[in-house]
Structure 1
Amino acid sequence: MVAPAVPELTEELLNESIEARTETLAALRELGPPDLVQLIKQAPRNPGKQIGVYHHVTGVDASSSASWQLGSDSVVQVPNNVSNHLTAGLLKYFHTTGRFASGINLFEKLRSKNVEVSSLLAKVLLMGNEEVQAVRVLHDSIKQSPMDYVMLDTQAEFLKKKALNPNTPELKQERLKMALGCADRSTVAAPSEFGTWARLAEVYVSMEDWENALTTLNSCPMFTYQDKDAPMMPEPKEIFLPTLPETRLDEIDSEPESKYGEQIHPSLLSLRAAQYRGTFKQAYSILTEMTAKIGWDQLLKIRSNVFVMEEEYRSESKPAPGPQGDAEKRSASTDVLRGSPGPPINGDDHTDDGKSATGESTAPTLVAENGVTDSGAEESVEKPSHTVTPEEVKGGNEDAEATEEQLSRFNNKRLCERWLDSLFMVLYEDLRIYTIWRTEMAQYRAQSLHYKKSAEEWEILGSLAERLHHQAEAVEAFRACLSIRFSPKALSGILADFEKDKNTRETVASVIRLVTWQYRWYSEFSPELLLTIRTLIEDEGAVKVRSIIQATTVLEEEVVM
């Protein structure tokens, strides 16, 4: 029997894939999962015996009515004409292929009918380094639609990027102040959108206005991440994935088997930040950027300056001794929420250092192969104390009496949202594990000992360092992972390092391996890899890149373009 050239999943019961798909139709949110292709096989000599097989194919049917219900990215609350999956896909397409002239031509035509499209036109112009024209488009369009939050956000993003490499410090501050005005105005135009508040927080981080950055981050509207619609199918009887000749590489073929038996420490599996998606992932990235710039201790100090801490709230909420007279009954919640002025910048006017009464953690501890850990490394990262959340205040005793002097210090403080308080605890665990890892490695190197971890553990540690904005340490961990076995995640992690160092041969070799892996395991097409090749061709020339690919040998398998 000739083996099929496409993947085949054999049904346990005839037509069960069709029935499962029909049952899930009502629960689909957007375009739904990839299209289902089901076939019924029947032997010529035994017509009564039928076997059902199926597979999925990707692609969008433009004739379907679902094309006008595209939804939006996970950080967009309400889709509109310029913020949806279709426009995001178009922008990514123009960015990946470099066909900016086609994008400009398309959006110029649409702009004549709808001024909202000006933000998309400006973004494509900026991609093509047409900055002057992009600024003109935004300037003219803002006059017509002054409260278009997407255009305001586009302006803020552009100005923030222009402030990264200014000629003078004064020019940097001037650009950041302009970006601040645009970002602040966009939050007024779209107060329910996460992106506008996140942009404002990013601008404050660039201005090194840490207290306002933290306060703004606390104001971000968060919502549950909605993943793409995925096929929900019963367990198949058999799975057949044909192996094409051009995808046969020993390191890739052996990757799934080599994962079995790898030991992973429980503390690495319990890092919750790795599971963040959507708004929570972006908010966590802003928080880790602040930590990378000012340090964990300073961030805790600023946190205690900005938010009402649990210990002080409890102590200040207790009735003060002595006669109270006819003083009005008040509570911490009414003082904090009654419209007090904003906090001073950067925590310079406060003395509370945010120290926690208990700095120990009950979580599992990362240990090296010898089973010994350094308690000093674990204690070097202070465990954050809890803040007071709005839910706790609402559920507390609102009739507690306190003196004016006791509550006056709350006037410049805010209540921390529960999700942000949780993010601090998650960040603490990330920092604790990272610090233990780096301390252990330093100790092993000082003793000229080899620091051993499994490939999966190195991959997790690389992702951890990447989340905390320690790129050099992330690359080190990813390289250690690749020295044990092939890992697409680790290779993707060091690819950017190759590009940064202009290491053309290593970049090409990495792209070849990643494309082969995706092709071998029927993964989705990666626009990032196409962008990498396009950038290489622009920098080095098509002839040189083609010659490198043709001359590249990967594990005795010659890959020819």
Structure 2
Amino acid sequence: MPAPAVPEISEDVLHESIDARTESLIALRELGPPDLVHLLKQNLRNAVRQNGVYHHVTGVDASSSASLAAYINTLTYNKEHGQAATHKIVEGLYCCYNAFSRLDMRVHVTIPGTVESYCVDERGEKRKATDELWLETYLCSVLRAYSYADDGSGDTIRKIMGVRRFNPVTNTETEHRFLSSAEHLFFRGWQLGSDSVVQVPNNVSNHLTTGLLKYFHTTGRFASAINLFEKLRSQNVEVSSLLAKVLFLGNEEVQGVRVLYQALKETPMDYVMLDTQAEFLLKKAQASSTAQQKEERLKMALGCADRSTIAAPSEFGTWARLAQIYVTMEDWENALTILNSCPMFTYQDKDAPIMPEPKDVYLPTLPETRLDEIDSEPESRFSEQVDPSLLNLRAAGYRGTFKQAYAILTEMTAKIGWDQLLKIRSNVFVMEDEYRTEKQDSATLAPPAKRNPSIDGLRGTPEPPTNGDQSDIEEDGDENASEKDHADSTAPTLTNGNNGVSGVEKPEHAIDPGEVKADAIKSDPENVRRQSGPLSSHPVANEPTQSSTTDEHLSRLNNKRLCERWLDSLFMVLYEDLRVYTIWRTQMAQYRAQSMQYKKSAEEWEILGSLAERLQHLDEAVEAYRACLALRFSPKALSGVLRVFEKQKNTRETVASVIRLVTWQYRWYSEFSPELLYTIRTLIEDEGAVKVRSIIQATSLPQNVLDLTHHYAALCHTFRSSGTDG
């Protein structure tokens, strides 16, 4: 297989990309950015004239300075770049980040000449590169290759320009090196940080364990996984949760349950093991054949999940799992209550290179990736008109905890409908209008405040508030906001074009906990503690009490919680999604009734497909994605269609989609996508390698394009995946 083409980003000022990388080291928090490769080119006609070009890369063997120097050496023989006839490479610098020691490992190559290796710390000072540092760097480079790999949709590829992506583990020898380094550094993995849904990284929840599990899931090398985690479990019982996960993946469920059972007897409050148990039981319940069996498994899952929230109350994953179980049990009020209790974290995106504005960008194309439908994509994509209402859908930008919480909310909506969800919401949470009414009643019925001469002497004689009183200003502001929200809620409802049933009504605002506290302080500072107890947003602080006059007036609210501001915002975002979706389906129905064609641009169809998929209307999502693909190629739309083909076990359509996605990825310098490799592997397991290869070869596409997908099938054979020959 030929290597992907080499993109070139030209510098305006010599070495400015290296300086920018050095300056950004202090701000890195995750695994670090992709490796930077800087080349110094000399004009063959004018030796004094030099210019700097660079590109990024992942998946290159970073186990030693020699392997990185070898990569630079391969670039000197590359004849694909546009300036090959007039320039030659005289120097190269390879920069690879070590996230363990927070150092940038660098290899400087002079052509012809010597190789110098060193590392740079956060202050830009040089240090000596040792063997231990290279071991750390190698492991980080493999984890980055999986972390920065594209899932097939092209979203990751478009984030950073000019990144070559290679497969870091191509055979059993490189796998042994990877797992050996992971075993050596396993208990330092927490230093790398963790996904944005994990609050506190630990030995089994960090970027290292995430990368290991993704590797095993992709390649199916479960025997190697079990061997690794068995050895690590002997050092720390916490690793039992990881061992159980790979046993479940490898269909060794009985053994996995035994591992968790034995481990939990030693550490009964390990939240990761409890969550693993709950996840397993939830999947088993969803696959149950009888209602009684499903109910029994859900009860067991509920007990594990409830215990995990006690063990780790500040972790999002434990609360989200509990909410998912309540949704499966169709206990909607508890599901909404638990969702409201989820601790939300600010999303921390992957470290990305911050580079100065380039002088020029050269993005070559290999002949092996030529395919007419793919080559026409970039030109048509940037000339399309998009409705502003589609561009402003906030849910499309959700990441991390907010994305997962929104998915739970949309699942509830898909099952019970928007109207029913609003009713449950008003039953669970204190709504703004009833809080305002209750507060006014409380103010009317409250007895006069007790006078105390000593307090009066300190505070001054009570007087009517003046025109400039701050509390009056705040009250007026609240009333204006309430009137505005009421005006918004009178927006016209829209009929769903599919079945002509319920409209989409804008939800009322729930009362904010901060506002209740502010009102309580203004009304009576002495009773803040007593008032805040019954109205606390946390479910454990919900026991109603009537220990004061104020509590009696608020008795109707005592059985309700306060809706967190972020969840209230999610309801508004969900309303906007449903409003746009309903307009689309209504218009589609009207056009079909009149036998007219409903026209949208390809970009708009792609957004509508993503919207429908987000709202869990899969048939409508596929319809929109297909309409997008009819106008132009779109990796995101094709990935959406591929997910449906996989569920339907449609082998031929799945293979046809994978071939095009692999070609598009290779066109943009990526020879490796874990998700596409996983798809090919599962196809081979189900259908056999011979049949899958035959289907690939029978496709009426150029042979050079088919060879790219054959390369993925060959990887499965190398790893001896189930279904391969021999």
The alignment's TM-score, normalised by the length of structure 1, stands at 0.88
Once the two structures are aligned, what percentage of the paired residues are identical?
75
CA contact (8 A) 1:9 1:55 kept: yes
Give the aligned residue type for 2:218. Answer: T
In the alignment, structure 1 residue 495 sits paired with structure 2 residue 642: yes
Over 3 Å counting, the alpha-carbon distance change for 1:14 and 1:300 in structure 2 is: same
Give the aligned residue type for 2:234. Answer: S
In the alignment, structure 1 residue 58 sits paired with structure 2 residue 180: no
Once the two structures are superposed, what CA deviation does each residue of 1:173-218 show, in whole Å capped at 9, x if it has no partner?
A: 1111111111011111111110011001111111111111111111
CA contact (8 A) 2:319 2:342 kept: yes
In the alignment, structure 1 residue 479 sits paired with structure 2 residue 626: yes
CA contact (8 A) 2:10 2:359 kept: yes
In the alignment, structure 1 residue 439 sits paired with structure 2 residue 561: no
Over 3 Å counting, the alpha-carbon distance change for 1:185 and 1:321 in structure 2 is: closer
Once the two structures are superposed, what CA deviation does each residue of 1:162-183 show, in whole Å capped at 9, x if it has no partner?
A: 1113233222111111111110
Once the two structures are superposed, what CA deviation does each residue of 1:35-80 show, in whole Å capped at 9, x if it has no partner?
A: 1111111224422211111111113846844445321111111111
Taking the TM superposition and a 5 Å limit, the aligned residue runs for 1:185-204 are 185-204=307-326
Aligned equivalent of 1:359? 489
SS at match of 1:119: helix
Q: Provide the rounded CA distance (Å) in 2 between the counterparts of 1:165 and 1:416.
A: 33
Q: Provide the rounded CA distance (Å) in 1 between the counterparts of 2:290 and 2:500.
A: 40
In the alignment, structure 1 residue 393 sits paired with structure 2 residue 516: yes
The answer to which of 134-143 and 435-444 deviates more is 435-444
Over 3 Å counting, the alpha-carbon distance change for 1:384 and 1:5 in structure 2 is: closer
> How many aligned residue pairs are there?
525
Aligned equivalent of 1:351? none
Aligned equivalent of 1:520? 667
Q: Provide the rounded CA distance (Å) in 1 between the counterparts of 2:381 and 2:308.
A: 47
Superposed displacement of residue 406, structure 1: 3.9
CA contact (8 A) 1:377 1:435 kept: no
Give the aligned residue type for 1:488. Answer: P
SS at match of 1:55: strand
SS at match of 1:51: strand
Taking the TM superposition and a 5 Å limit, the aligned residue runs for 1:114-153 are 114-153=236-275
Give the aligned residue type for 1:189. Answer: A
In the alignment, structure 1 residue 221 sits paired with structure 2 residue 338: no
CA contact (8 A) 1:255 1:485 kept: yes
Q: Provide the rounded CA distance (Å) in 1 between the counterparts of 2:42 and 2:583.
A: 61
Aligned equivalent of 2:15? 15
Over 3 Å counting, the alpha-carbon distance change for 1:310 and 1:543 in structure 2 is: same
Give the aligned residue type for 1:457. Answer: E
Aligned equivalent of 2:683? 536
CA contact (8 A) 1:356 1:384 kept: no
Aligned equivalent of 1:507? 654
SS at match of 2:193: coil
Q: Provide the rounded CA distance (Å) in 1 between the counterparts of 2:581 and 2:502.
A: 12
Match of 2:376 among 244, 248, 254: 254
Superposed displacement of residue 5, structure 1: 5.0
Match of 1:208 among 330, 346, 351: 330
Match of 2:218 among 90, 96, 100: 96
Aligned equivalent of 2:557? 410
User: Structure 1 unaligned runs (5+)?
Assistant: 329-354, 367-372
Over 3 Å counting, the alpha-carbon distance change for 1:362 and 1:395 in structure 2 is: farther
**Looking at CA atoms only, which structure, 1 or 2, has the larger radius of gyration?**
2
SS at match of 1:483: helix
SS at match of 2:286: coil
CA root-mean-square deviation: 2.7
CA contact (8 A) 1:33 1:229 kept: yes
Over 3 Å counting, the alpha-carbon distance change for 1:379 and 1:158 in structure 2 is: closer
Higher relative contact order (CA 8 A, sep 6+): 2
Aligned equivalent of 1:369? none
Q: Provide the rounded CA distance (Å) in 2 between the counterparts of 1:323 and 1:541.
A: 78
Q: Provide the rounded CA distance (Å) in 2 between the counterparts of 1:187 and 1:383.
A: 33
Superposed displacement of residue 407, structure 1: 1.6
Superposed displacement of residue 99, structure 1: 1.2
SS at match of 2:555: helix
Give the aligned residue type for 2:378. Answer: P
Once the two structures are superposed, what CA deviation does each residue of 1:437-474 show, in whole Å capped at 9, x if it has no partner?
A: 11111111111111111000000000000000111110
Aligned equivalent of 2:504? 381
Superposed displacement of residue 538, structure 1: 1.0
Q: Provide the rounded CA distance (Å) in 2 between the counterparts of 1:290 and 1:380.
A: 17
CA contact (8 A) 1:250 1:555 kept: no
Over 3 Å counting, the alpha-carbon distance change for 1:362 and 1:74 in structure 2 is: farther
Aligned equivalent of 2:29? 29
Over 3 Å counting, the alpha-carbon distance change for 1:11 and 1:321 in structure 2 is: closer
Aligned equivalent of 1:265? 387
Over 3 Å counting, the alpha-carbon distance change for 1:321 and 1:117 in structure 2 is: closer
Give the aligned residue type for 2:506. Answer: K
Q: Provide the rounded CA distance (Å) in 2 between the counterparts of 1:313 and 1:432.
A: 27
The alignment's TM-score, normalised by the length of structure 2, stands at 0.69
The answer to which of 511-520 and 92-101 deviates more is 92-101
The answer to which of 524-533 and 426-435 deviates more is 524-533
Q: Provide the rounded CA distance (Å) in 1 between the counterparts of 2:620 and 2:406.
A: 19
Over 3 Å counting, the alpha-carbon distance change for 1:110 and 1:126 in structure 2 is: same
Over 3 Å counting, the alpha-carbon distance change for 1:322 and 1:14 in structure 2 is: closer
Over 3 Å counting, the alpha-carbon distance change for 1:557 and 1:443 in structure 2 is: farther
